[in-house]
Chain A
Amino acid sequence: MTPKLEFDTQSAEADCFLGQVYGLLDAGMKDQAADFVYDHFHELLSAGDFTSCDAIFRAADPSRLGSSLSRSFLSLTDRDKKQFVARQVFFQRAFHFVQESQDLERATRLFGHLA
């Protein structure tokens, strides 16, 4: 049961983190949201906590994050991308979101090298 409990805790923490990010974005505080994302990912990556990052990738909604912040999620984790399970699926969702909302050329330019 312990792994499940840990997974649940990380999911709850990811939801809490994303709730704060969406809140800042909804309030028009895009830069503050980005700073919060940067600082949070720095903490997780510095601690080698890749499973918490994965929980964020599983729960994050690219259409709520927007193209800039979705790109930040991928940029910040690019160096360690082999450590993640859910990052690739997040990448596909983010790419699809930009392709649908804008176009394929833009999606490729923004995300193509971050797979």
Chain B
Amino acid sequence: MTPQQLRFPGQEITGVAVAIRWTGFCTHSGVLYRHTNGQLFLLHLGGDCDLSHEVFEGNFAWVIPDLLPEEVDEIRNVCRAIARTMPQIHYSFRFDPEAKLDATTLEVISQLAPHGLTCSTFVLAVFNSANVRMIDLKDWQQRPQDEKWYGALWRYMSTNGVDTAHLDQIRDDVKCLRVRPEETAAACLALRGELPADFGFCEPRGQEISRAVRAAFDSTWNRSTRN
């Protein structure tokens, strides 16, 4: 990955990008898109039924995918449609690479994983809704630390007011494959003809992205604590 491919505030986004940041304890992703009015908006799933659509304030880095203009247009259309409706989307761990948001209700449609999305799979579902497949899950690897992370998230959700029926539905999903936020961002580094990107492509580049956004966070944190 070249430094130019992971971009930080100040560099232009004309269409769409996947936003990525280090929150202080984990990475978090969303969709950045240029709205009709020229403003840059961030659409992201912050937690259970916590979809946000906000003017981008520059606190994320981003990667711009290599897509055709028509595909970019369609993703922007989907983002604006979501922003008009702001559907309630549950937070859930299991990922279906074909998950989309329904054209009419904007609810998650997925046979394999109907219970919701993570911040990372929300981004992938937005792209899928525009018929742009970013990730190939075929050879994706199960990693022990992912189950630990999902288990910790489930416990956090269970003590923070998430509906118990929903928690029961997703309890066993802590063991499922995880596409990390930085791996969704890494898929955007693939050339158009290489999409959907597989584990071998996304995992090492995701690690690089994770290191870069952590370093950016640390330097900002250090600056703000010095001042």
Contacts and interface: CB of A to CB of B under 8 A. Distances in A.
A64 B125 CA distance: 29
B68 A106 contact: yes
Interface string B120-134: 000000000111000
Contacts of A13: none
Interface string B58-88: 0000000000111101101100110010000
Interface stretch (B97-105, B151-159, B219-227): B97-105
Main DSSP-derived SS at the A contact region:
helix
Contacts of A41: 103-104
Interface string A26-50: 0000111011001101100110000
A52 to B, nearest CB: 14
A110 B131 CA distance: 9
Interface of A: 30-32, 34-35, 38-39, 41-42, 45-46, 67-68, 71-72, 75-79, 106, 109-110, 113-114
B187 interface: no
Contacts of A114: 131
Contact of A110 (B71, B80, B100): B71
Given A30-B73, A31-B36, 14 more contacts: A32-B36, A34-B73, A34-B76, A35-B84, A38-B77, A39-B81, A45-B104, A67-B70, A68-B70, A75-B129, A75-B131, A78-B131, A79-B100, A109-B68
Contact of A79 (B69, B77, B102): B102
Contacts of B84: 35, 39
A76 B103 contact: yes
B103 A79 contact: yes
A30 to B, nearest CB: 8
B109 interface: yes
B109 A79 contact: yes
Contacts of A77: 103
A104 B73 CA distance: 20
Given A68-B70, A72-B74, A45 B103 contact: yes
B216 to A, nearest CB: 31
A35 B70 contact: no
Given A106-B68, A110-B68, A42 B74 contact: no
Nearest to B69: A68
